[in-house]
Structures are given as C-alpha cells and as structure tokens.
Structure 1
Amino acid sequence: MTQDFSNLSMHDLFRIEAESQTHVLTSALLALEQDPGRVEELEACMRAAHSLKGAASIIEIRAAVTVAHAMEDLFVLVQSGGAVLHQARIDQLLRGVDLFSMFAKALGPNGGMSDQDWQAEADRFVADLNAQGPALSPEQLPATFPSRRTASLRSAATETASSSEPADRALRVSADNLDRLLDLAGESLVESRRLRPFAQSLLRLKRLQRETAGALGVLQDALPLHLLDERARNALVEAQQGLFSCRKLLTEKLDELEAADHHATTLAHRLYGQALKVRMRPFADGVGAFPRMVRNIARDLGKQVSLEIVGERTQVDREILEKLDAPLGHLLRNALDHGIESSDERLSAGKRAGGTISLEAQHHAGALQITVSDDGRGIDIERVRRAVTAKGLASEETAAKLSESELLEFLFLPGFSMKEGVTEISGRGVGLDAVQEMVRQVRGLVRVSSQAGNGTRFKLELPLTLSVIRSLIVEIGGEPYAFPFAHIARAIKLPVDQLQTLEGRQHFALDGQQVGLVNAHQVLGCNEVVHDTAELAVVLLGGPTNMYGLVVDRLVCGRELVVQPLDPRLGKIKNLAAAAVMEDGSPVLIVDAEDMIRSMEKLSSADGLQKVGQDIAKADQERRKRILIVDDSLTVRELQRKLLEHHGYQVDVAVDGMDGWNALRQTRFDLVVSDVDMPRLDGVELVRRIRQDPSMRELPVMILSYKDREDDRQRGLEAGADYYLTKGSFQSEALVEAVIDLIGEAATT
C-alpha cells in the first residue's frame, strides 16, 4: 500500500531516497565486483545515481550532485566499454555511497560541516575517481540547479518507498507507540478467551437445570397430580413451565455467547496479527551492511570470501532485528578471522580458493532461526581442550572427559579466545559472549557445531516476537508455570515401570538416549506431591547432549501469553524469567529454561538429586541411615550400592576422592565406604581430611581395597579408618556385617 508522504519535509524525502538508493548501489557494486559483466546490476547503479542526482538537485545539495554526476558518467562509460570497474574503482564508488549517507545525515541545523566543506569533500572524491581512469571533472558539471519540482520528487520518493518497504520511522509513528499497540493487541488476544470459561459455566448451569427438570418429573410421577391440592398442583406446573422457559432462554443465550466468543477471538487474532505485521521488518533491512563489511575485512586479511544471504524477506520483529546487528557482526568476523582459510591453505586442502559464509533466516516450528555457517577449517576440538586447561577452567582429567559439545560451550565464556594475539577484528574473547548474552535477553538459544576441515555452524533460535510467547502450562506444587515452547524438546507421559536407576540416579531411555529425571519441586523449592499414578508428566529440557526430564505434577495446556516483566527491584529471580496473566485473571510465572537447566546440572554434579515421588514427610519420620560409597570403579560402586540398598540403607555414590569430599561437605552421612587408589584424591587422604574436620571427626569410615598387605592395612587404619576390608576376600555378607557393626541396622530406631 502506498504511504502518504504529503506531510514530510523535503529533507525527510531526500533521506528516504538516499537510504533506499545507497542500499541499491552497495548491493549492485558488490555484485559487479564479483562479476563485472552483470548488465542488470550496472543498469541498477545508473538508475540509482541518476535518482540521487535529481533528488539532490531539487533541494540544492551541490556536493551530492557532484558525487552523483561523476558516478553516473562513469557507469555510462563502463556501459559503452570505455572503462572497466576494477577493484580500485569499486572502492572509490563505495566511498561515494558513504558520502551520500553522510549528506543525508548532515541535513538540518546540526549538520556539522559547512556547504563549502562538503563541496571540497565531493571535489576530492571526483579527483580520486578520475585518478582511476577517465571521468568528468567538476567544471563539466551543470552550474545551475533545476527549479524546486516538489511534486515530482514527492512522487519519486513515494514510488521508491512503496517498492522497498521503508523503515517504520518513515511513518512518523514512534517505536514506543507501536510497542504499546502490540501490547494492547496481545492483551486483547488474552482477554478474548475470557468468554469461553463463562460459556462453560453456563453449560454447567444448563445441565443443572436439566437435572432439576428431571427431578421434578420423577416427583410428579411419584405423586400424581390428583393426589395434590390445587395450590401444590399449580406450583408444580409453574415450576415446570419456568424451567422450560429458562432452558429455552439459556439455550438461545448460549448460542449468542458462542457466536460472540468466536467473533471476539477471531477479531483479536486479526488485530494482533495486523499489529505484529506493523512491528515486523524483512530480514534484509538489518543485514544490508554485512556484505560490504565482509568484503572489507576479507581484503584486510588477504582472503577471498563471499557472503550468501538467504531468507532476506523473512519477517523479523523490529526489536529483535535491532538486537541482531552486533551479534551477527561478531559471528561474521569470527568466521572471517578464525574459520575461513587463506587461498593457499584452501587450495592445498582441495577446496576452492574463495571461501563462503552463509547467513540464513527462516521461520521454523513457531520460532525464528538465524544460521551463520562457513566452509572453513572448522574448530580444532583438541585445541579448545588445551585452552580450557591452560586457562584453569577445568583440570586435565576433567577436560579429557568432556564431549565435543561440552567443549564448544566454553567458546561462549567471557574472555575465552583461542587466538594468541589481539587484532582489530578478534582476539579479546568478547564476541561469542556478547552473542549468547543477546540471545538470553530475548529468551532464545544458541548452538554451535563444527566439522574439522568442513566449517562451523552457529544456529540462533529466537522468538518471533518479544511481546507474546507460546507456552506450555504445567502445574507444580499446586501452582501454574509456563515453559516457552521454544525451549522444550518434548513433553511426554512416562510410565513409571520405564524408570531405571544407575548409581542412585533415576533415568529413562528415549530414542536410544539415557535421560536423567529431576523433580521440579526440588528445583523450584516447593512442596512435593507424591506421584502415586502409573504415569509421570515429564517436560524435556536441554539439547541432545545435556537433556533432562523435569517431572511436573500435571501437563495443563498450551497458551499464548502476553509477557509481563518482573519488577526490576526484585533483581534476577532464579529459574524465572517473567510473568503473565491467564484468561481467568490468575497469574502465571514464566520459567527461565536456561537457568533451570543450569540448576539441574548443579544438582546432578553435586549428587543432590532426590528420587521422583519420594515421600519426604515419611522419610523425615523414619529416616534411613545414609552411606556414601567412594570408588572410581563403576562396577564396584554399583555392586555395593545395590547390596546396601537391598538391606534398607540409603546410598549415595562418588566417582573419586575429591567428588566424595565435596559430597561430604554438602550432605550428612552416617558412614563412608571408600577405595584407596583413586584419581585426584586417594582414599587415605580422604580419611585424613575427614578426621581433621571438626564436623566429621566422629563419622565412621570403612576402607574397601584390593591392597591386602599388612602395611597397607596399617596405613589406612593410622589415617583414621574404623574398618579395613579387602576386595580380594570380599563377600557380600562380610560387607553388610561390617556396616551393621559400625552404624547398626538401616532404619533409625
């Protein structure tokens, strides 16, 4: 639809014209640099330069006329075969494009440079352009300007704005007003659902009325009218007639209410859809500067790189599009500096000399997906592993056990960089940190994958809009919570008989993957409801390598919610992101899924997970004695755990001495059963630490080791162990008897 530009000033019209035509010039010049023979791009340059010259003439910006005229004549010369657009000329022409942007921004009382200064800058541009080959001099330019053809310029600007869909500021509507409009539209969407619960209550009233009429009929059959006096008969007949009239009226009003509900819901959806469209902009509006940025940085690095942009017409929320500028710039610079190899390196690897970076936007599963990928060298996983240990982020033993996806997550840490030196392009370790921070601000996700020799891929999953989110409503501890669909892998009903236990932790198999179970009541710190049903309601959170199953009380429904930010005076509330209001007026808290995943990881690493369905009240009344098994052998740990749990003890496990020491400082135990030879901290040193700690000095400790020499036994007992049992002569009865000797039977008397 053509916009009304009648109220815009001449300067505003020129700004619109300059913004549109400079974008055309930049895109066409970059295309001509790759293929100088593209006639349609050369014609686009000629049209853009001619339009800019005409617009600048009307408002008498002689410096802009000078630049546009010189560019236009060069394009004509190239078209006739009298000149070639080599790289140096392209550089100069792009400088001219920058000058047009500067001319447009400088209009008004605060323009900065004087007309003489701008003209001097334009003359220098023409001289530099002529230095690359033949072109017109400033003396050949027209000395007079055409009259103010206001109507023609306004018509040209209208046509340009209509074809290129200008930014929302050309509508003279502030962004705040648009945001308020969308918020109101979102609230109307929620309010439109209030009629449905009311209609359902009327349906219940109708059923009650029908049941009452049936009861009266039964009463009439039991008491024939001739047995009643006239007053009673009249009252019964009037009651029946009143119920019939009520049922008829109720049916009519219910039909009207259902029609009104359908109309209101449809209207609210249309209103919200139109308001959202006003807020949306094509992806191309936010990435127009990237092709030139990639070109310039690639030249500085001495690399051949082309940028492919896919999904330019994909609609993106204006606020999200503005926030994407810096993160996408970081990702592109990283791809240029770290990912794409030099031409010689690529040729020796059997690749094309020129590398390719792809920037793609698409809508998928109710979310916006932005992908930045390259066909470069990929990420050296072992180099990342070495960098992690060198920076003290993990020990060598821990780093050696980390998977590829876990190592790649370190790239997003503040200050983490694999580049030895710092340049203007990268090396300070702030780029990917800024990317993740922006994604978290808009409640999105970012994932990275890489294949050695074949490139790296960053995928950003973002909400379509920040004002309304599609969520799964669940019930936890009698309260509703909303999980954004964008962060949910799946929501399932899990049969209890599919639960398995390994090292005291519950999990289940899903598509060939073992998924750990975590109780939502424990994560959120609310009262637990004992799950006595045959199925558990489970919400799956996380990615393929760190997925958790969060057990909730009930899966309620899916809802579109208008996001209401929490009071900033509260600060960041753990595991929560925002709030909303349900259609019945009740509040609902929106979960911070990333925060919740971190909470589950922390509970899991500290071995502090409670079993799903555990009756805490009963456990407090009749507490089982708790034993910590510390052994680096999975087989030995499981054998001991199953044996002691069979005899009624509550058993926790630790994979080495340091893991056991951390567990002891967080949880109270009645007994420790430890191996001797373990990484990081051996059993003898663990016993010494226990005896040196005043709060654990009296804690019974048993050593269970393959070492059966007398000096080994003596060493363990001297460190403070209460019992020394060798695995070589290990018998299940011997272990149980030793435990009973040290702490007694499993249940507290």
Structure 2
Amino acid sequence: MLGLFRQEVEAHNKTLTDGLLALEQDPGLLDDLESMMRAAHSIKGAARMVGVDAAVGVAHVMEDLFVAAQQGQLLLATEHVDELLKSVDLLGQIGELDGELIASWSEQNSEQVATRVAALEALLAGEESEQKSAPEPVASTTAPAAVNLADATMLGLFRVEIETHNKTLTEALLALEKAPSSAEDLESMMRAAHSIKGAARMVGVDAAVRVAHVMEDVFVAAQKGELDLLEWHIDTLLKGVDMLGQIGAQDDAVLISWQHDNANEVAALESQLQRLLDPDAEPPAAPAVEQLAPVETDAERSALITAESDSATSERSASPAADKPSAKKSSDSSLRVTASVLNRLMGYAGEAQVEAGNLRPFAESLLKLRHRQVELLGVLEELNEAMEGAEVDEFGLSLLGTAIDKAGECRQILTERLTDLDAFERRNTRLADRLSREVISSRMRPFIEGVHGFNRMVRDISKSLGKEVKFEIRGKDTKVDRDILDKIEAPLNHMVRNALDHGLETPEERLAAGKPAEGRLLLEAVHNSGMLSIIVKDDGRGVDQEALRKKIVARGMVSEQMATDLSESELLDFLFLPSFSTREQVSEISGRGVGLDVVHSTMQEMRGVLHATSTLGEGMRIHLQLPLSLSTIRALMIDVGGESYAVPLARIERTMMVPRDQLKIMEGRQYVIVDEASIGLLQAHQVLEVEGHTNSNELLPVIVIGDRNRHYGVVVEQFLGERNLVVQVLDARLGKVQDIAAASILEDGTPTLIIDVDDMLRSIELLISGGRLMHVGEGVGEKAAPQQGKRILVVDDSITVREVERNMLETKGYSVDVAVDGMDGWNAIRVGNYDLVISDVDMPRMNGIEFVSKIKSDARLSSTPTMIVSYKDREEDRQRGLEAGADYYLAKGSFHDETLIEAVVDLIGEA
C-alpha cells in the first residue's frame, strides 16, 4: 500500500507542478485548477488510507486553496504559487520515505509540516505570507555550528534544478548579447533565477539564494526598462552562473564547509551583481572575462547528479518552477534507468523478434499439412468414384463416406486455424518490431544535450583571444546514442578549441585578408546513410601544408623525399598524432599536442572514420563518421560459403556488381578500375578461411572496404540485404576470433557473425604480403600455403610510421604485418606466429607499455622478442619500456635504415 501511495504522490505531484507553472502564466486557466484540485484530493485520500497524517494535512489545505480559486474567492498570484510549490516539494519528500522511516520523519519534522500548513492557511485567509523575502543575511566569518540541510535526495534534486536552469541562463545570456532587447530571453532568465532561488531556500543553501536573488532583480530591472544589459553586465551575470554551477557541484558532505570557506567570494560576487542595478555604474577597469575556478565537466556533473538522484523513482524538479520557459513543455514524465537495464531490454526485444519470426516457418509447415490433407481428400473422393458400381457392401461404402466427411471437417478446421495463426504471426511481428524500435529510441538523446555548453565556451575563448566568432550548431535535435554522445563530447570540445586558437584569425588579420572581421565556426550533426555524421568547419586560415611538411621533417618523423610524396590526407593525419602540435609555445588553450590525439583515439575506439580537409586561407573541415548506436548497427548481410555474415555499413566504402570482363590482372593480382582508381580484388572465402562455392555468374557482388590509404574489393557470393542488428558480444573464453567482432541473431533465430573490418584488412595484407592470393573462381576451398620467411609485427597508430618501417624491413626480406594500435596488435599476435614485435608507445585503446606487458605475461607469447620504437628518448621513458619487458628500445627521432635493421638482426637474425 505504501508503494502505491508513493506512485500516487509521484504522479499527482507532476500534475500539480505543471499546473502551477501554467497558472502562473495565466491565472484564469480553470482546467488546470480542476486537475490540481483533483490531484490534491487524490493525494489526501491516499495518504489517509495509509495513515500518513502529515501528507493529509498539507494536501487538504492545498485542495481548499484550489477550490477557493475555482469559485473566484481567490486569485492565485506568484506568492501563492511559490508557497504551493514548496508544499508540492514537501509532499514529494514524504512520498520518497521508506515505510519504516515515515513515523520517525513525521515526528522529527512536525514543526516543518505545521509551518507549511499554517502558510497555506494564511493564503486561504487572504493574509500576506510571512515567508516573503527577508533581508539577506551578511556572510558569516565563522563556520556555523550546525546547518539543517535537507536530506540527500532533496539536495540531489536541487542539483538537477541548478543544472537545468544554468543551461537556460547561459544560452539566454549569450543570445541576449546579440539581441539586448529580447523580452523572451529576459523572461526565461528571470524565471530560471527565481526557480534556483526557491530551490536553494528549500534546502537551506544560502549562498545560492543570495546570488540567484540579485540576478533575478537584475533581470526584472531589465524587463522594466530600468536597465540596459551591456557586455560587461553579461560578463558579471555569467560569473553568477558559474558560481551557481560550483555550488551545485559540491558534495553533500562538504557543502556547508564550502559555503563558509567561500563566503568572501560569494559576498564579493553578490556586490558585483548588486552594482549592475545602478544605471550610472561604470564597467570595471579590467575586462571581466575570467571565469571562476573550473567546475566539473558537463559529463562529470551529469554523472554526479545521476548518482545522487538514482534513489528517486522519477526525475522531477525540486522546488519552484522547474521549467525551461524558452523551450516547449513536454508532458512526458521521466524515469531514470541504468544502462545495464536498457541493455537487458535490448536483449529481450531481440529475443521477442526471434520468437515472432519463428511463427512463420511453423505456419508454413501447417500450410504444407493442409495441402497434403487436400490431396488426401482428393484421393478419397477418387476412390469413392471408382467404387461406384463395384460390388462393395454397404458397410464399406458407409466407412468411406464417413472418411470423406471427416477429411472435409479437418480441412475446414485447419483452414480456419491457419488464418488465425497468420493474423497472430503478423500481430506479433509488428509488436516485436515496435518494441525493438522503442527500446532503441530510448537510448537516443538530442545532439544538443552533449554540446549545450559549447556556446558559452566559444564566447569565453574568443573573447580571451580577442577574436570575433559567429558559432552555429546545426542538427540540435539529431538523435544520438547516449553512449556515443558521452564519448564524443571531449573530442568535439578539442576540435572546437583547436579551430578557435589555430584556425580563426583576429579581426585585423581577417580584414587584411579581405574577409569579414567575424569568423564563422560550424558544428553540425546529421544522419546520413545509416551513420552519424558530425562536421566541424571554420573559415579561418587553414593549414599551411608546406609548413606542416617542414615541421614533420624537422621532427625526424619522415624523410624529405617521403614528405614530398605525402598526399593532403596523409599529411593532415600527422595533426592527429600524440604530442604533435603546430604551435611552438604552449598556451592555456592549446599547444601540447594532446587535443586532436583524443579525437583520433575516440574514433578508433568507436570504430568511426575521420576525414580532414583544408584549403590555405579558406579554413578547415573535419568530418567524423560514426555508427548511430554502439548497441545496434546497420549492416549489409552477405553470403560467404553458404553462411551469412554482417558487414557494418559504416565501414563499407561502396558496393557494386562487377562484370567479369572488366577484371584486369597486373603482376598476378586481379583488380578493377573504379572512378579512375585501381581496386584490388580478392575472395571473401579465402580471407575468412572457409570453403567457398563456385560463382559462375557474369556479375560479381563486391564490397569495397578500407581506410584512408588502402582499399580492397572483397568478392562475396551474394548480397542478402541490409538489416538492423542488435550487437551480441562474443564470450570472452573464445579469445579474439580472427576477422570477427561480434555476433547477432536474425529474425528467424539464425545466428550471424559481424565482421571486424580492421581485422579483415590486416588479414588481406597478410595474404598479399605472402603472395597467396587466389584469382576469382579459383582455388575454392583450398587452404593457403604457409608464409615463408621471418615474420615481424609492426604496431603504430601512425600510418606513415607503419609504412616507413614496413618498407625498410620488407626491403631486407622480412615478412611484415601491421596493426593500428595496441589492442589491434594484441588481437593480431594472439592469432598469428611472429618472430618479432615492434611497437610504438603512445597509442589509443592500449599503449605500447601495456601491450608489451601483456605479451610478456602470456605463457605462450612471453618468449617473443619485442622492440619499442618511440619519439620519447628520455632515460625514464627508456627505463619504463625495458621494465615492461621490451628487449630493445629505439628512438624514432634518431633511427635510420641501418640502425633499425641492425637492431632487428641483433634480436632475430637475418630475414
């Protein structure tokens, strides 16, 4: 019963909150009064049923207030709404108590309940509330002996309130800077500050009360035309937003001491905000662009709030006016659900689809049975005709007639049941599909939720750099998987900062170059071909490719000859290497060479693709292509050797049907010309090491896979169509399965394997380097001959470094395989036999030290010689590598052909 009571309070509190906020906008909304009166009445009745007298008393007076307003005896003004919302919060607090705590809570908080009831009764009697704003207390210089803060749940809701309304304040202040007379923005900010003030007063956080109170006064003055908000006003108000964010980020245990320790800062900010109300006040001498001490990132703050609010059964606003006035209101209630629960629901939805699909073959088997039954009936009727005129006794004829009648009845029943089963199968399939779509959509969030703080960041950084920037976010409502949204926030942050610092010029530089003084920076998210595309684009100075070539050569990363031959794509890849920066000096914004490396690491982790292009003097464009979801993928189903495999669409460059007569051969390898480029061909069954079927068709189904600098056409036996698949992780006991990333279950219950494209590319290169490629249609089902010579695995996240080392080693006769990072290398060495491993140190997913340690701790692999080749040449770096178990440590900046080859020969001998 108490559980039902809690549900009742939760549901009706939502009605009360929404109705009060709407009523504050329009006091004459009778429908809202009616719904709130019924909600209060229901809570009162439910509380009386379970004996929660505190809730009965509060809800009863609230109901009387709504009835009085309905009858025209009372007009609900702002002060009434404030008190009623406080009462809603108190009911919510009571509704969250465990059954064992209700009695003790009621006893300990009887005075609070009595005060609340008295305040409501005073409103009913037409008296002024005693809880109007009193003069704010002066900051104390000594720590309070004890402060009676609300319980942890209310503080958690207070933090939600701060986060929600801080977004409104930030976005509206930035908009107001461009349109100072926006009445809508002023209204939304006034209400946001008012809501924070009320929520802070409810939980006893005086510092937030004082800051929000003065901010509210400033917005009211601007609304009345008594104050024009200038740039320095907005700077000061943004300081207030930052202070509120800091307060909301404090843990329960330190909130009291934090207020005491920071009393002077709060008082100083309050004074600065108060000064804004003086129309004759002059701006401060120094530009007020510095932010307060940094608080947690949005992701960290969100995690903190989630952790502290998970005990609540639903996400709802704490006290007053938990709305976002500038946005459309949603009538949907919110419920916090953990990621593990959603993953389980995803699995159940997949199982439901499989079970629904199983009905079709069952119905088809019954249909075959009906056909056989019809045939049987025909045979009986033929027998009956044949027996006419024959000497058969009446008993035999009677039995035959009965058999024909029974067969007819069976056919009729079977036909009816088949019709019912067919309808049932269609309903179940539709229901399972809807369930799957709903579960998938529950993981999706609007793109703006991950980048809502970027407007503020761009404004502050551009001001600190003396630049004018027009920042635009497109595709704010584009749906993104919550896991992807969390992971891409940091990379996007780095790219935007990089564009502000490196890309966009100062107004003077832009005017001298014939550009508008204001630079443009675009962040866009769209769904495209079953993928999430994110573009970061600026119209700044672009990348000086010749200067970049010289920088690469100067750092000893490539030779002058190789640098000359690098394409634009290969050249821009260097910007995403660890510790690489085009800046000579380190600033607070960039210069350490870690920002774009984060982008590269994250893209590899999520199996995404990154393309960068730049034109000198016109700007730079970075295009990220990501899967729409990490839990589901859109895949192309292919047939290889009679088995179905899934290839993620995000990793397919293109598909095509290639006529056999267009196949060409050069140096024993087959290829086809596509858009004036040569694409090498090979058979999927040879790569996957399965028995293939002879394909005699004139048109060959081909999928083109690859990365920036290598593309291959894989010939399959047929395309089976596109599917949305729920990703099922393979059992860890299987280890790394070569060329396979995961598995999934099709609608008919058939399991299918999802191909690991990066692993497949490595397998393809193994076939090529070993000279073991078969021509299309040849060698079906044959096992490839073993590779000859000593094998070396080169592991480096820089394609340029990989190719340099590969070419040097292959020139000396070694057989070389490559891996793109430590994780890729670990997968490779577990399925291959190598005489030597050469690894970089700074790599995403798994760095070189971890990689070497894993090799040396594995009983089967520990004897494999390992060499570390790194840009870091400090003694401590060298020591770290050797302590991890490396047999040799070589600095990239100093090695040349003979140095590397000599080290290899020392370790494993000649090729």
Same fold (TM over 0.5): yes
8 A Cα contact 1:70 1:136, kept in partner? no
What's the offset of the Cα at 1:329? 0.9
What's the offset of the Cα at 1:61? 2.6
- Please tell me whether residue 111 in structure 1 is matched to residue 290 in structure 2: no
Q: 1:47 to 1:253 in 2, by over 3 A?
A: same
8 A Cα contact 1:505 1:609, kept in partner? yes
User: Aligned residue for 1:15?
Assistant: 159
What's the offset of the Cα at 1:79? 4.9
The SS at the match of 2:744 is strand
User: Aligned residue for 2:697?
Assistant: 533
What's the offset of the Cα at 1:433? 3.2
8 A Cα contact 2:350 2:745, kept in partner? no
Superposed counterparts of 1:141-160, under 5 Å:
154=319, 156-157=321-322
User: Aligned residue for 2:278?
Assistant: 134
8 A Cα contact 1:542 1:548, kept in partner? yes
Q: 1:535 to 1:176 in 2, by over 3 A?
A: same
- Please tell me whether residue 293 in structure 1 is matched to residue 293 in structure 2: no
Which range moves more in the overlay, 229-238 or 245-254?
229-238
User: Aligned residue for 2:749?
Assistant: 585
Cα distance between partner residues in 2 of 1:424 and 1:599: 44
TM-score w.r.t. length of structure 2 = 0.61
Cα distance between partner residues in 2 of 1:657 and 1:462: 32
- Please tell me whether residue 419 in structure 1 is matched to residue 583 in structure 2: yes
Q: 1:392 to 1:657 in 2, by over 3 A?
A: closer
1:441 maps to which of 597, 600, 605: 605
Q: 1:135 to 1:86 in 2, by over 3 A?
A: closer
- Please tell me whether residue 319 in structure 1 is matched to residue 483 in structure 2: yes
- Please tell me whether residue 273 in structure 1 is matched to residue 437 in structure 2: yes
Question: Any idea what the Cα deviations from partners look like across 1:38-83, whole Å, max 9, x if unmatched?
Answer: 4433333333223322333343332222112222333344456665
Question: Any idea what the Cα deviations from partners look like across 1:670-709, whole Å, max 9, x if unmatched?
Answer: xxxxxxxxxx99xxxxxxxxxxx9999xxxxxxxxxxxxx
- Please tell me whether residue 66 in structure 1 is matched to residue 215 in structure 2: no
8 A Cα contact 1:130 1:136, kept in partner? no
User: Aligned residue for 2:537?
Assistant: 373
RMSD: 4.2
- Please tell me whether residue 29 in structure 1 is matched to residue 193 in structure 2: no
2:670 maps to which of 485, 491, 506: 506
1:100 maps to which of 233, 244, 247: 244
The SS at the match of 2:472 is strand
Cα distance between partner residues in 1 of 2:909 and 2:211: 83
Question: Any idea what the Cα deviations from partners look like across 1:111-137, whole Å, max 9, x if unmatched?
Answer: 363543454332121233456783899
Question: Any idea what the Cα deviations from partners look like across 1:140-174, whole Å, max 9, x if unmatched?
Answer: xxxxxxxxxxx997562378799566999x63443
8 A Cα contact 2:346 2:726, kept in partner? no
Amino acid at match of 1:464: L
8 A Cα contact 1:481 1:591, kept in partner? yes
User: Aligned residue for 2:266?
Assistant: 122
What's the offset of the Cα at 1:216? 7.0
Cα distance between partner residues in 1 of 2:910 and 2:381: 77
Cα distance between partner residues in 2 of 1:374 and 1:88: 27
Amino acid at match of 1:467: S
2:715 maps to which of 546, 551, 555: 551
What's the offset of the Cα at 1:474? 1.6
Q: 1:367 to 1:106 in 2, by over 3 A?
A: same
Structure 1's unaligned 5+ residue stretches are: 138-150, 622-655, 668-679, 682-692, 697-749
Structure 2's unaligned 5+ residue stretches are: 1-10, 18-91, 97-152, 282-315, 786-805, 818-895, 898-907
The SS at the match of 2:584 is coil
Cα distance between partner residues in 2 of 1:283 and 1:291: 14
Superposed counterparts of 1:321-720, under 5 Å:
321-391=485-555, 394-511=558-675, 513-542=677-706, 546-568=710-732, 570=734, 572-600=736-764, 609-615=773-779, 661=811
Which range moves more in the overlay, 185-194 or 390-399?
390-399
Cα distance between partner residues in 2 of 1:63 and 1:404: 54
Q: How many equivalent residue pairs?
A: 625
Cα distance between partner residues in 1 of 2:317 and 2:761: 60
8 A Cα contact 1:281 1:318, kept in partner? yes
Cα distance between partner residues in 1 of 2:326 and 2:184: 21
Cα distance between partner residues in 2 of 1:610 and 1:389: 40
User: Aligned residue for 2:297?
Assistant: none
Amino acid at match of 1:377: R
Amino acid at match of 2:247: F
Cα distance between partner residues in 1 of 2:359 and 2:273: 69
Q: 1:85 to 1:574 in 2, by over 3 A?
A: farther
8 A Cα contact 1:520 1:551, kept in partner? yes
Cα distance between partner residues in 1 of 2:326 and 2:443: 17
What's the offset of the Cα at 1:328? 1.1
Cα distance between partner residues in 2 of 1:75 and 1:103: 21
Amino acid at match of 2:216: E
Question: Any idea what the Cα deviations from partners look like across 1:710-744, whole Å, max 9, x if unmatched?
Answer: xxxxxxxxxxxxxxxxxxxxxxxxxxxxxxxxxxx
Q: 1:244 to 1:662 in 2, by over 3 A?
A: farther
8 A Cα contact 2:690 2:781, kept in partner? no
1:174 maps to which of 331, 338, 344: 338
Cα distance between partner residues in 2 of 1:31 and 1:553: 57
State the identity as a percent. 43
8 A Cα contact 2:651 2:706, kept in partner? yes
The SS at the match of 1:501 is strand
8 A Cα contact 1:444 1:463, kept in partner? yes
8 A Cα contact 1:506 1:516, kept in partner? yes
The SS at the match of 2:257 is coil
What's the offset of the Cα at 1:326? 1.0
Question: Any idea what the Cα deviations from partners look like across 1:472-516, whole Å, max 9, x if unmatched?
Answer: 222223432111233334433333222222343322244555433
Q: 1:45 to 1:154 in 2, by over 3 A?
A: closer
What's the offset of the Cα at 1:358? 1.0
Cα distance between partner residues in 1 of 2:601 and 2:331: 29
